[in-house]
Structure 1
Amino acid sequence: MSKNVGTVDRAIRAIAGIAIIAWGYVEQNWLGAIGLVPLFTAAIGWCPAYVPFGIKTNKS
């Protein structure tokens, strides 16, 4: 499982994840839990959706 998510991609995912979680909290909606997915992929630096397509946004 090599890292396939670059720095900019990770930052965007983290911001989007936090925003979705905050939206869910404000609206008191369980759908905010979906924000955990981009937050988790940003934290570990690996996205399973990128694997079948061979996408790598990191430079190494």
Structure 2
Amino acid sequence: MQANVGNIDRVIRILAGLLLIGGALTGAIGAWGWIGVVPLLTGIFRFCPAYLPFHWNTCEKK
């Protein structure tokens, strides 16, 4: 599994995931906030399966 999520994309995903999960835990946004697990995990593992069919890669070129 090759990384396809760059640094800026990674930070945005992790923050968005944490905000959604935090909102779900506090009851501010309801149960749908648990969808934040998806961006959180894709940010942590630096891999997004949704990028594969489109051949997208936000990692810096080497």
> When the two structures are superposed, what TM-score results if normalisation uses the length of structure 2?
0.88
Q: How does 1:1-60 map to 2 (within 5 A)?
A: 1-27=1-27, 29-59=30-60, 60=62
Runs of 4+ in 1 over 3 A off after TM superposition: none
Deviation at 1:26, TM superposition (A): 1.6
Separation (CA, whole Å) in 2 of partners of 1:33 and 1:23: 9
Tell me how far 1:25 sits from its aligned partner. Answer: 1.2
Unaligned runs of 5+ in 2: none
Q: What's the CA shift for 1:31?
A: 1.6
Identity of aligned residues (%): 42
The residue identity in structure 2 corresponding to 1:10 is R
SS at match of 1:4: coil
Amino acid at match of 1:55: W
TM-score, structure 1 normalization? 0.91
CA distance in 2 between partners of 1:22 and 1:32 (Å): 8
Aligned length: 60
- Stretches of structure 1 lacking an aligned partner (at least 5 in a row): none
